Amino acid sequence: MVLFLGTLCAGNAYAKSSEVLTAAAADDPFVEKQSYLAQIHANQAWDVTTGNAGLTIAIVDTGVDLNHPDLQPNLVDGVNLIDPNLPPQDDNGHGTNVAGVVGAVGNNDKGVAGILWQTKIMPIKALESDGSGGEAKLGEGIRYAIDHGAKIVVLSLGLNKYSTYMSDIVRYAEERNVLLVAATGNEGNRVKYPAAYPTVLAVGGMDSNLTADERSNSGSEIDLVAPWDVFTTARGGSYELKDGTSMAAPQVAAVAALAWSRHPDLNVAQLRQLLKQTAQDLSTAGWDRTTGYGLLRADRALTETPRSDMYEPNNRKDQAKSISVSKMNSAAFAGGSDQDWFYLDAPYDGVVHLNFHIPSGQTVTVQHTNVHGTFTNVTAKPGQPTALQVSKGRSHVQLQLSNRSVESEVRYQLTTSFDIYRDQMEDNDRQYKASVLPSRSQTIKGTFHQMNDEDWFELPVQISGSLRIRLSSDTARIDPVLFVQKQGERSYSVDDGGDGAAETMQLSEVFPGSYYIRVSNVKQYALPVEGEYTLVIDYDAKQIDPNEPNNRSYQATAISLNSPYSGLFDKQSDTDWFQFEVPQESVVQLSLSEIPANIAMQMSLYDSSMRPVTNASGGKQVELNERLPAGTHYVKLTAAQPFDRHLYQFTVSAKPLTAGYSDVQGHWAESSIMLMSRQRIIDGYADYTFRPDQTITRAEATVILSRAFQLKQQKNVDYTDLPADHWAFAHIARASQSGIVGGYPDQSFAPDQPVSRMEMITMFARSMNKPGQVRGDPPFTDVDNDYWGVSVLRQMKAEGWIGGYADGTFRPDRQASRAEFVTMLARMKM
């Protein structure tokens, strides 16, 4: 597998800037063409320092023009790994472009100015003249640089494959305090390796509009962006305009060298964190998948003080800071009482692993709230990855030292990694385990979640027809390979495209029998992949409706709930009737899918007396959601025009309702929820759910208490985060008047913040006028006499209102669920 060179020729287009040059501006003739210098505020950085002559930066690339007058004074001995008998002379131009961005001599009245006017550039030729190369030479080049004194290595190249070999090289650099800076790539796809490794600084490209260039690779591993367009040195002593993430990465490397001259005591992890800390947000605040932590800012990197925790303040959920699911980050606990909140945006369902590097003897309590609002608590030990099951979307983690008595600052590093979900077709890694598919056209999404994963499918062809199969992926880390074989006959394999390219196989004539389909990644990409493949099977055959005759209501096909039924319309007058039984009042979903393209269908629902209830129509998919009583119900399906080459799919599912909710039946809090619902104290969501295990927010809890105690009087409240049109404003004002709730010292109320178990008990105690005057020992093993709520806990425990866990703890700081809150309220109201 060959490496990429991330530069694209861009003609005369370069970013414009209105920046005013400072007194430290270079006098080089072409400096006005170097608009990227103003974008990263290099001029202001030069007011502090213009170089780092004591530090060596290695450029592992195509070599460097060793005779270029604007580079020669800053060059030191390097190596040619392609031909060790020759010097590392650039025979491509790419390495010379990179070198000019890093360290073209500044203020020498020649050409351009590098970000470092004085430095030591070590040229390492690891790529051929056409820019190709393998990871063996890449790894050799990085190791050579480290072993010969380089402190920063620039890698404006990459490939789509993770390898244990390169991972070991990256770890070798980290252990020797050497910074690796790499380009993310220019295909508008996922971050390439080595940029994608956790401790490599991954650099994307920014356009002149301060947004990520659409060609710049992005994803979970990106750290920063720098300008896409540069004017730089070229082979033969000349200069040229170049672009791409290959030109962005050396900007970050050069600024890192400037910052290291300013803060020589920083280790490589702290240096990476400083560049993230001082980046300029470009879109959302904090880290995101397209620009990382934002735009490289040379001035801030040299003038701001490195912080032990750049994420503070993040002591509450509403202050949570964004971090990647696949990178190393540094932070600190101010002490045992300090809480660090982060949120992670998982690109798919899967598992996020947290690995803490923290002083010996310390452990971290991790509270994870997933995208659905349910939470888990685990204790993380140093060097032992902690696995968190996540769904696609945003989840939160609350981190805190397990030893709450610690008073001094404790610094830690958190490395996250992500494993994609195991697709629903597994285990189908062998032909004899092939997942049997329905004999129709369909689309399947799958993953390569484990080492050497491959997926087998069996398609039973019952009627002669044609078959077209297309295999695609959403990431260039997958180079899909498609294999098809009819049982007992010749096989066909397709791998015409490269990384990320779709593969298609057309069988113009297929006959009854079993067709086996194998989906795999190329053999070189054996490891699990963060990405999905899509297998589209178009089977075109004349179909037979298995439910006919069902053209009249009295001929309606009786169907079972949650079972799919197929059908078609072979003539204009065709109508399909179905009937189903609902055993008790339920929320019923009727789903009509697999509708052929350009066909509109209508679904009409009738009760047992054949009175119309509702209807829906559309193409591709039609759905109805209705609250229906127990009994028999009928459905009529019609189509705007006939079709007989594809089967639609019809499914009816039902969720029984308890107290009007579909998710409380059999729950341990069912009786309490029913009681409070009958009294109209609580309500659920528009989808007929109550979500009992979801954390309850301060606003929700306050509204429930206001209704339960029929609070009427309200005072004027002026919380900074609670506008008058907030849905809970009136109830919060009433509860504030009665003293049940209050705000925070910063005049906020934090209505969406989860309520802890201690806060819940405090609200109930205030509602019952129980000030906590009972004396005695702490009632629970995890609460001492210095805890702020101990007096309330004593009284509520003594009077039998609360109990702890079997181990004698109360866990007061754990988030309370909606079920816990309602159950406590039900006890009070009984």
Q: Out of 28, 41, 61, 738, pick the active-site residue.
A: 61
> What's 50's DSSP letter?
S
- According to DSSP, the residues that pair with 818 across neighbouring strands are none
Helix axes 164-175, 135-147, angle to 10 degrees: 10
3-state secondary structure 514-533: EEEEEEEECCCCCCCCCCCE
User: Is 68 annotated in the active site?
Assistant: no
Dmax over CA atoms of the chain, in Å, equals 94
Q: Which helix (H) or strand (E) holds 158?
A: strand 157-158
Which pairs count as long-range contacts for 608-613, CB under 8 Å and 24+ apart, including other chains? Answer: 608/632, 608/633, 608/634, 610/553, 610/634
Among 757, 751, 755, 756, CA closest to 733: 751
Pairing of strands 118-125, 51-61: parallel
DSSP category for residue 77: -
Which residues are CB-neighbours of 811 under 8 A, at least 6 positions away? 757, 782, 804, 805
Query: Are 239 and 30 a contacting pair, CB within 8 Å?
Result: yes
Write down the residue that tokens 């309500």 correspond to.
683
Alpha carbon distances (Å) from 141 to 30, 54, 65, 153, 579: 32, 21, 18, 9, 71
Note whether 101 and 232 are within 8 A (CB). yes
Contacting residues for 227 by C-beta, under 8 A, at least 6 apart: 15, 35, 36, 39, 40, 205, 206, 208, 247, 248, 251
If we measure between CA atoms, which residue out of 204, 187, 177, 182 comes closest to residue 135?
182
Q: Strand 454-461's sheet: what is its strand order?
A: 435-436, 454-461, 513-521, 480-486, 491-494
Tokens 């001995």 appear where?
77
CB 682 within 8 A of CB 674: no
Tell me, what amino acid is at 830? M
Do 552 and 577 form a contact (C-beta atoms < 8 A)? Answer: yes
Packing angle, helices 790-798 and 757-767, rounded to 10 = 70
Catalytic residue status for 94: yes
Respond yes or no: is residue 61 known to be catalytic: yes
Strand residues in 565-687 grouped as ranges (E): 565-569, 576-582, 586-593, 601-606, 612-618, 622-628, 631-639, 643-656
3-class DSSP assignment, residue 237: helix
The residue annotated as part of the active site, out of 28, 35, 41, 94, is 94
**Got the DSSP string for 432-487?**
GGPEEPPSS-EEEEE---STT-EEEEEEEE-S-EEEEEEEEESSTT--EEEEEEET
Backbone φ and ψ of 405, nearest 5°: -85, -5
**Active-site position among 35, 163, 218, 246:** 246
CA distance 381 to 794: 33
Q: Which residues have C-beta within 8 Å of that of residue 63, sequence separation ≥ 6?
A: 78, 80, 88, 89, 90, 91, 92, 95, 96, 123, 124, 125
Contact present, 245 and 212 (Cβ < 8 Å): no
Q: Which residues contact 679 (CB under 8 A, 6 or more apart)?
A: 829
Hey, which residues are catalytic here?
61, 94, 246
